[in-house]
Every structure is written in C-alpha cells, then in structure tokens.
Chain A
Amino acid sequence: MTSTDSEILGLFIGVCGLLIVLTLVGEVLGMRADDDNPVVETFKTRVRSWWVIVTLFTLALIAGKVGLLVLTAFASFAALREFMTLTNKRRADHLSLALGFFVVLPLQYIFIGFGWQALFTVFIPVYVFLLLPIVSALRGNSDRYLIRVAETQWALMISVFCVSHVPALLTLEFDSYPADRSVLLIAFLIMVVQFGDLLDFFFGRRIGKTKIIPGISAKTWEGMACGVVSASIIGGLLAWLTPFGVFGAMAMAALASTVGMFGNLVISAIKNDRGIKDWSHLIPGQGGFVDQLDSVIFAAPIFYHVTYLVWM
C-alpha cells in the first residue's frame, strides 16, 4: 500500500465516522418523531445516498486514474441526460445530440486520460461549439435555431466540460508534490465544496435572514458567508492533501466554495425557468446528478485553472 492509498483510507475512515454519527442521528430522530415524518425520512434517505457516493468515490480514488475517469464519465453521462431531457430540440438536432452523448463525451474523457491539455481545455468550448451547430444547420430546420444550439452547448459545457475538470486535476504536475498524490487534490476539492454546502445549509436554516435571490433559491447571504468561512477552515485543516500550504489551501477552498455556491444559484435559476424542482429521481433523496453536483460543476474548472496559473 502506498502512502497515498493509506491517506485515502484515512480520509475514508474519517468521513465514515461522520456518516455513522449522521446515521445514528437519523435513527434517533426517527424513533423520537412520528412514524413517517417526511423531514426525518428525507434526512435518512440522503445519508444513505451519501454512504453510496462516499464508497464509490473512495473506490475510484483507490483505483486511480481509470477508476476516476470511469466514475466521472458516468456522472457526466447522467448529468447530460438530465440536462438534454429539458432542452429545446427538433428532429433536426437528433444527430448532433447523439454525437454529444456518444462521441463528444467519450472523447473528452479520453483526451483527459492521455493528459492532452491543449486539446481537452478547448475541445468543447471551441471545436464542438463551432462544429455541432453545423450538423444541426445542415438538417435544415431553423425554427428556434439559436435557442436549440445554445441550449445544447450549455448542456455539454455544464455536464461534460465542467465535470471532466475533476479528473483533469490528475494531469497537473507540481514540483515537490509526487504525481500520484494528485488524486488527493480531487478529494480536497470535493470535500471542501460539499462540506461548505452542507454548512451553508445548516447555518442558513439557523441564522439565515437575507435571501440572495428571493423566490428562486432558499440560499441566504448569512448562510453562504458561514459556509465559505467553514469551507476555508476545513481547507486549512486538509492542507496536507495539497501542494498549496495552509494559507494557500484556505484561499483555494474559499474560492472553490464561493464559486460552487453561486453555481448552485445558476442551476436553481435554470430549474425555476423550466418549472422543475429536481433534475431527476436518480439519487434517492437528493434528486438528480445535476442537483448533487451543481457546486462541484462550477468549482472544478475554476479550481483547475487557478491551480494551473498560480501554483505551477
């Protein structure tokens, strides 16, 4: 077992300890409340989903690059499916949508697998952006054309390009930071963003007063501030996972968490526009993959590029 593996296991055990506490809290609340209190039931389903997510993610981290690529590619596929189900499309778009699912998505992850940075950072924003609308245009239906191609591009950017920047962190090479440790950088990103979200939710419920966008999201400025500060503290505690040093890790955690929270607001605005509460039913208690990933989706590319620009 390498030192990276034992550190992953250490993290896993730590998170499991937390989940055990949450599971026990759920059981106690369940015994105290009425038989089917919906809040307690939702809480318990969510904790159960978290067990599955944490286990899958840990296995992928241990399996290394291929495991992570497979897991994130699958998450991309699920997110793209949720997104594309809600976009405007005509029959003329059928081929370009099929290309999005079955060519663009796998290619993006293959480019990342080979570490071709010059390609995977521009493939979807440049090549796909220009080429897919050609495929749609050639089929000859201009009804709502701009809306259709713009929504398709958004779906691919959010679900494929952004999500794929999580495994893209593996391709970064730092001085004095062994290459096999970069899986820990991924664990760092996911943990600070998700814990920040959790604490934002917790503090928002307790002391939240000023809604950021009333009518669209329950997020409050107070909750968000507490969430970002907490994420930054957690980032400082987890600095040993990163090449950033303690203060660098705190700054990066605060940045990722802030971007992630505003990303959640963007996704809420889209949901509100399409009149839905959740993107799908695929993760019990949490809705869809886009609901679960929204903050990571926004944080990952920024985290990747700032790491590249500042720390390399």
Chain B
Amino acid sequence: MKSLLSLPRRAAAKIVGLAISLLVRFLTAVRADWRGIEPVNRQRVYFANHVSNADMPMIWSCLPPNLRRDVRPVAAADYWLKNKLRAFVGPEVFNCVLVDRRPEARDSDHDPMQNILDALDDGSSLIIFPEGNRNMTEDPLLPFKAGLFNMGKARPDVDLVPTWVSNVTEIMPKGEVIPLPLICTVTFGEPIHVDDGEEKDAFLRRAENALVSLAPKDDRL
C-alpha cells in the first residue's frame, strides 16, 4: 500500500507530520516522562488513557523521531475515513492501523484484531486506547476492552507500556473551541505482560491499575 503512494504525497505526509508535532509541542509544551522504561527502539504497545482527540497526536509528538517512525496508532476507521482530509492525516501522516468499531459495517473477512497482529508482525510498535471510547466521566478510566489482553496473549514478547496523558481535559474541555496552551505531560510506566494462565479480567484490572498509578497527584482544590 505504502509503495503505491506517489512521492509528493509521501513528502506532504512527512511535512504535515512535522508541522503537527511542532504545533502540538508549541501549544502544550508536551513533555515525555520516561519513568518505567527508556526511550529506545523496541517493539512496544503503548496503551493510554483517552479523554480527547488530542491524546494520540500528543503521544505521537513526544516520542523521539526514531521511535515515531516505527509507531502506528490504532484508530477508528469510521472516524479517520470520514472525509478526504482525515483519510490523508490518519492513514498517511500518522500511519494509523485502522479498525472498524461497528460490527455491522465490517466486511465478513475483516477481523480488527488481525489487522493489529499483522502490524505487530511487521515489527511496528502501536499506540492503543483500550477504553475504546473517549472518557467523558469523572472517573480516571473506563473499564478496558479485551483487545489489549488478546494482543498480549497472542504476542507475549511485546512490551505493553502504560502511558498516562495528563492535563488534556483542562487544555480543551469538551465543547470548548480554543485550546489553552497549558503544559502537558506524557508519562511512560513500567511495561507489563500477560502472565501464563492469567485470566482476561484479572489482567485487564492489572493493566488499568498500572495506568492509573502513573497519574500525577493533584494537590489542588
């Protein structure tokens, strides 16, 4: 697929990608806090909390360029194929792995998990949001969907890295138009793996806890 894209289109994708990462870094001064792992190029699945559409570009922008080249966000096909601009930005700039969340719209041979496993077998790292949807509640996290467990079980060598994105709700609360240029931190925690014989629910609770424990303590009122 990628080799079929014409050269100018690929160049445009590179430039747009650079522009997005600079804009995100200017607006949010986003900082990566590598607390549990080093920023080295190993195959990883970064699983993150999801409160706004800015989460994915934020994580993507604060990865060092050599890691960013090999990372593919897993994203919803219904969102990223909605119009031509999104179809350019999602699949070509961010190199997203598109999965369809709506069972009724899927082709009979389309298995979302297979797309994801194919991307892992190509050697790509992934960014996923295991809550499935944006979290609009007061709780820090929604219960995780099974996808993370299935990935961890099918490809046990891959590091599953909890990734906490802070402050995004304050930068752009739902329904507001102007983003505030506040400082945002992306914290990468210690990787986890699915243990032998670990049940799905037990693993998902463990993954949720690993992620929530990265949230910075807030002393404000």
Interface residues of A (CB under 8 A from B): 77-78, 81-82, 84-89, 91, 94-95, 97-98, 101-102, 144, 147, 273-275, 280-282
Instruction: Find chain A residues with CB under 8 A from B219 CB.
Output: 273-275
Asked if B220 and A88 sit within 8 Å, CB to CB, the answer is: yes
Smallest CB–CB gap between A301 and chain B, Å? 24
Contacts A81-B29, A102-B178, A282-B29 aside, 6 further interface pairs with beta carbons under 8 A come to A85-B182, A87-B220, A91-B176, A98-B178, A273-B219, A281-B31
Verify if B52 is at the interface (C-beta below 8 Å from A). no
Chain B 19-62 interface mask (CB, 8 Å, partner A; 1/0) = 00000000001010000000000000000000000000000000
Chain B 164-203 interface mask (CB, 8 Å, partner A; 1/0) = 0001001001001010111100000000000000000000
Instruction: Find chain B residues with CB under 8 A from A275 CB.
Output: 217, 219
Nearest 7 interchain pairs by C-beta: A98-B178, A85-B183, A91-B173, A85-B182, A88-B220, A94-B176, A275-B219
Nearest-neighbor residue (CB-CB) of A148 within chain B: B221
Give the number of A-B contacts (CB < 8 Å).
43
Smallest CB–CB gap between A83 and chain B, Å? 10
Query: Interface residues of A: mostly helix, strand, loop or mixed?
Result: helix
Interface residues of B (CB under 8 A from A): 29, 31, 167, 170, 173, 176, 178, 180-183, 217, 219-221
Asked if A97 and B180 sit within 8 Å, CB to CB, the answer is: yes
Nearest-neighbor residue (CB-CB) of B170 within chain A: A89
Known A-B contacts A91-B173, A94-B173; A84 and B221 likewise in contact (beta carbons under 8 Å):
no
Cα(A280)–Cα(B183), bound, Å: 8
Nearest-neighbor residue (CB-CB) of B33 within chain A: A281
Instruction: Find chain B residues with CB under 8 A from A91 CB.
Output: 173, 176
Cα(A84)–Cα(B180), bound, Å: 9
Asked if B183 and A82 sit within 8 Å, CB to CB, the answer is: yes
Known A-B contacts A85-B167, A91-B173, A274-B219; A280 and B180 likewise in contact (beta carbons under 8 Å):
no
Instruction: Find chain B residues with CB under 8 A from A280 CB.
Output: 29, 31, 183
Instruction: Find chain B residues with CB under 8 A from A84 CB.
Output: 180, 182
Cα(A82)–Cα(B220), bound, Å: 15
Among A85, A101, A273, A281, max chain B CB count under 10 A is at A85
9 examples of A-B residue contacts, CB within 8 angstroms: A77-B181, A81-B29, A81-B182, A85-B183, A87-B220, A94-B173, A94-B178, A101-B180, A280-B31
Asked if A94 and B180 sit within 8 Å, CB to CB, the answer is: yes
Across the interface, A98 reaches (CB within 8 A) one of B29, B180, B217, B221, namely B180
Cα(A282)–Cα(B31), bound, Å: 9
Asked if B173 and A81 sit within 8 Å, CB to CB, the answer is: no
